[in-house]
Structure 1
Amino acid sequence: MSLLEPGRRVHVMGVGGAGMSGLALWLAERGARVSGCDVASSPVLDELAARRIAVLVGHDASHLAGVDSVVWSPAVARDSPELVAAAALGLELVDRPAALAQVTGATPTWGVAGTHGKTTATSMLVQVALAAGRDAGWLLGAPVLGVGANGHYGADGLVLEVDESYGTMAGVVPEALAVTNVEPDHLDHYGTLERLESAFADLVARVTGPVVAWADDPGAARALAHAARPTTVGAAPGREWRVEEVTLSRDGSRFALLGPGERLEVDLRVTGRHNVANAAVVAVLARTLGVEARAVERGLSNFLGAPRRFQRRGAWRGVDVVEDYAHLPGEIAATLAAAAELGYVRVGVVFQPHRVTRTLALLESFAPAFAGATLVIVTDLFRAGEPNPEGVTGERVATALAARGVVERVRYVPDLDSVPGALSESLDGLDLVLVLGAGDVGHVIGELPGGLA
């Protein structure tokens, strides 16, 4: 049995999640009859319903009538009555890693992997593929701005964000791969950095074609050592492709990319050296796959950014407000570095730590990441459904920041509803407010007194 058999009736449990909603769209556009359910209604479910995917709220065995296969999210408990009923009925049960293994095993796939930057880089690669005239499909964790939703079927293959969470990438088999970076993350699943790096090494070793990595990142360089056809990209000497002549502004980035016998001029509408690195690995992967240089340049110039990735939301009382998904120390440091390079001097940060296990594993790494911030307001954790038997709160992060003395002012404001008031009291002298986190901290922006200009 296979999810990809013509006319298959597929039910997706946890369809409101970023990865699962995109998969549901891809399967539906490919020809499957798709339904889905999740624990609560959401804008994502509304969008799926508008695209004629039958969506249901809650988990119930009645959802399984007429279904051939059930695809389930890691967020769904194994003892869910609906999942138990599906097993009793003898339906094909496919978790997300196995589903992606089926998809990539039958579909030519260009992948993007890395512990951060991969949604942005995948969106860039989609734009490049479209600029090259390919009927490309894609699966990633956010909509492709100006193009479409987070999932789309295309006859010429798939551009895939290769997600490492929950071991999802274990069965993925891309024909080509870009690696942005490899840093500590998802240690609740992998246990140690060594096991995480081993998973990336296994992924790279499975790739049947070229692998391109930002070799200035040590973890990405170590993963690249396992590739059959490796290519290095970076700003450091000795890379096969070099980034040079970088110019950053609040409106975008420009750089030259020099490779064997050629030079590309890249003009991005997004800023930051991290985005320069993302664009560089995408450009080199595309060139390695035979995409014409002008199509690469055109596709990257078409990239409009990704939601919650240094996304300017407006100005509040004369202070710019930017939202970013950054929640790992490396991402936070990169976001603050981008702000500094754009001329922002006194930066206030609202930070919502994400997950209990991640907060505990990375606690000592947060303080250096925030170095240079003027103010950091830390909220309580966004637990993402994780148990919290020890009662860990965001105060642990705030205390660690205050103890290191790398930030002028640190405040712990556990309740998101109280953040706008606390930020209002501390706004004087700031020229930028960054709202950082992978949870629901962005709601704070809509509650700022007086609204955004």
Structure 2
Amino acid sequence: MLKKDISKLKIHFIGIGGIGISGLAKYLKAQGAQISGSDIAEGSAISYLRSIDVPITIPHSKNAINDQDLVIHSAIIKEDNPEIIEAKNKNIPVFSRKEALEFILCNKRVFSICGAHGKSTTSAMLSAIFRDFGAIIGADTKEYGSNVREIQSESIVFEADESDRSFLNSNPYCAIVTNAEPEHMESYDHNLEIFYDAYRDFLGSASRCCINTEDPFLGTLDIKARKLSPSKDIKNISYILKDDEPYTRFELSNLGEFEVWGFGEHTACNASLAILAAIDEMDLQTIRENLRNFKGIKKRFDIIQKGDLIIIDDYAHHPTEIVATLNSVKTYATLKGKDKIVAIWQPHKYSRLLDNLEGFQECFNQHCDELIILPVWRAGENPTPIDMNQLFAHHQPIFTDRIKKNGTSIEFFRGDEVIKIQEGIVVGLGAGDITYQLRGIK
């Protein structure tokens, strides 16, 4: 069955409302496959899939399984799910998303992007350059309002995931690594050698590679690759506003000047990796013009309100990412003439907080005039006692249970007192539900 043309398969997705699974479903439907799915509740992804005639069962039910060729499920689905049980009873192959990737991408020309930071942005930039390629990205790009470019193509831009080692199943033709900072070490038995070996295997499986050599690990590799040394290769960075939107201009080696949406040295670095990955595919002028189609991605320096109070939503949930985001916010504040930057931080997972505690204690030292800290977003972990008051006392933070967007202001609650922020710049930092609180949805 797995040797059949994928465009002729009937594929059922369990947990189809999640961004990773819905992305695969949308992409495979565009390739011609017949798609169905199920989940426990309605959501925006499911509403869209229904609009393109994908039948979806709510909640999970064994009746959703009939004559499909393949069942794919998200990581959180357990073996006792009634649809998995029914599929196995009917001898229908059942794959996790991780297992399915190898089959889905095996005949594609994959530009596979991974790394601890910047992979979603770099993937979206490369997708903007390769306008005729399919794409599956880990966040919605504002260029086409989705995490998937739903077109038939032999080539695809794919954001690969190192957190569960599934990047090793992405069949890279071109492997792009933004950095290899240790993260998600639970997937690697907390063993750095196993972690780095996975990156070696990823790069070794590709025909072409593109890496940031100023990463401490990537810089040690003796491999044939297009290599970016940001401090040497990226010059004359400048920042401008166009229609109140942030743009970075920079020169890359001997390739001339480029312009890309966003602020910061990390933005120029991500764009440079995308340019180097594309340089063997098309001429420089086309790359330069197509890169301007990139308009940012949701939850990455996502400016959701302008005016007296500017609100920026950012997914940064690691110290390295927070420092880069706050540097970009400072640049934006300077150009906008704003004097005060308020950071609202929702720590993401107890394990990440503890693994990177010193980094979190230091990452707010610059470009943060006031720090507001929300409760830790557990992401399924058991609570761990942490004395946040003591650990972050040097920042004199305000601790609050929740924030709320009310009209054009942001409110946060300190005991029975409601404090309003009505001017300056507020930046929300985190991968939990802070994005909905900032938008007044929750």
Does the TM-score normalized on the shorter chain lie above 0.5? yes
| Secondary structure at the counterpart of residue 141 of structure 2 | coil
Structure 1: distance between partners of 2:90 and 2:354: 41
What does residue 414 of structure 1 align with? Answer: 401
Deviates more, 1:10-19 or 1:430-439: 430-439
**Corresponding residue SS for 1:101:** helix
State the distance in 1 between where 2:145 and 2:427 align.
27
Secondary structure in 2 aligned to 1:166? Answer: coil
Matches within 5 A, 1:110-189: 110-130=111-131, 135-151=132-148, 152-189=150-187
Aligned to 2:198: 199
Which residue identity lines up with residue 164 of structure 2 in the other structure?
Answer: Y
* 82-91 or 331-340, which deviates more: 82-91
Q: Deviations over 1:239-278 (max 9, x none)?
A: xxx11110023521100111xxx42311112212211110
Matching residue of 1:280: 272
Structure 1 position 312, deviation (Å): 1.1
Q: Does the 8 Å CA contact 2:29/2:35 hold for their aligned counterparts?
A: yes
Does 1:214 pair with 2:206? Answer: no
Distance change (3 Å), C-alpha of 1:415 and 1:236: closer
How far 1:177 moved relative to its partner? 1.9
> How big is each residue's C-alpha offset from its partner over 1:136-186, in whole Å with a ceiling of 9 and x where there is no partner?
111111233232522223324111111112222122221112211122322
2:79 pairs with 1:81: no
Q: Using the alignment, how far apart are the partners of 1:347 and 1:118 within structure 2?
A: 26
CA distance in 2, matches of 1:397, 1:198: 35
Residues 96-140 of structure 1, C-alpha deviations (whole Å, 9 max, x = no match): 12211112221011111111211111111111111xxxx311111
What is residue 12 of structure 1 aligned with on the other side?
A: 13
Whole-Å Cα distance in 1 between the matches of residues 411 and 25 of structure 2? Answer: 37
TM-score (norm 2): 0.89
> What is the 5 A alignment of 1:295-444?
295-315=286-306, 318-342=308-332, 343=334, 346-372=340-366, 373-384=368-379, 386-388=380-382, 391-392=383-384, 396-397=387-388, 399-402=390-393, 405=394, 407=395, 409-416=396-403, 420-422=411-413, 425=419, 427=421, 431-444=424-437
1:59 partner letter: H
- Going from structure 1 to structure 2, the CA distance change for 1:397 and 1:30 (only over 3 Å counts) comes to farther
Separation in 1, partners of 2:51, 2:390: 46
Partner SS for 1:47: helix
- Aligned with 1:263: secondary structure? coil
Determine if contact 2:403/2:412 at 8 Å carries over to the other structure.
no
Q: 1:396 to 1:296 in 2, by over 3 A?
A: farther
1:399 positional shift: 4.0
2:106 aligned residue: 105
| Shift in CA distance, 359/85, structure 1 to aligned 2, threshold 3 Å | farther
Shift of 1:396: 4.6
> Which ranges in structure 1 are unaligned for 5 or more consecutive residues?
449-453
Letter in 2 for 1:141: G
- CA-to-partner distance for each residue in 1:394-434, whole Å, 9 max, x for gaps? x65554222xx2x2x31222345598234973748x73210
CA contact (8 A) 1:97 1:172 kept: no
Letter in 1 for 2:269: A
C-alpha distance in 2, partners of 1:352/1:109? 35
CA offsets 1:324-359 (integer angstroms, 9 cap, x no match): 111111111110111223326532111112233323
1:451 equivalent in structure 2? none
- 1:207–1:57 distance in 2 versus 1, CA, 3 Å: same
Partner secondary structure for residue 420 of structure 1: strand
Letter in 1 for 2:205: R
1:28 is matched with which residue?
A: 29
How many residue pairs get aligned? The number is 422
Give the match for residue 265 of structure 1. Answer: 257
Q: Does the 8 Å CA contact 1:18/1:141 hold for their aligned counterparts? A: yes
Q: Distance in 2 between matches of 1:422 and 1:315?
A: 23
Q: Secondary structure at the match of 2:138?
A: coil
Conserved 8 A contact 1:116-1:180: yes
The answer for the alignment partner of 1:94 in structure 2 is 95
Q: Which moved more, 1:82-91 or 1:296-305?
A: 82-91
Q: What is the CA–CA distance in structure 2 between the aligned matches of 1:84 and 1:138, rounded to whole Å?
A: 32
SS of the residue corresponding to residue 179 of structure 2 reads coil
| Partner SS for 2:113 | strand
Partner of residue 254 from structure 1, selected from 237, 249, 252:
249
Q: Kindly, what percent of the aligned residue pairs are identical?
A: 25
Tell me, what secondary structure is at the counterpart of 1:67? coil
Query: Do the aligned partners of 1:201 and 1:226 also contact (CA within 8 Å) in 2?
Result: no
Q: Distance in 2 between matches of 1:398 and 1:437?
A: 19
Q: Return 5+ residue gaps in structure 2 as ranges.
A: none
8 Å Cα contact 1:27-1:153 kept in structure 2 = no
Contact 1:205 1:226 in 2 (8 A): no
Give the 3-state SS of the residue equivalent to 1:268 in structure 2.
Answer: strand
Question: Which residue matches 1:232?
Answer: 227
| Map of 1:51 onto structure 2 | 52
CA contact (8 A) 1:20 1:73 kept: yes
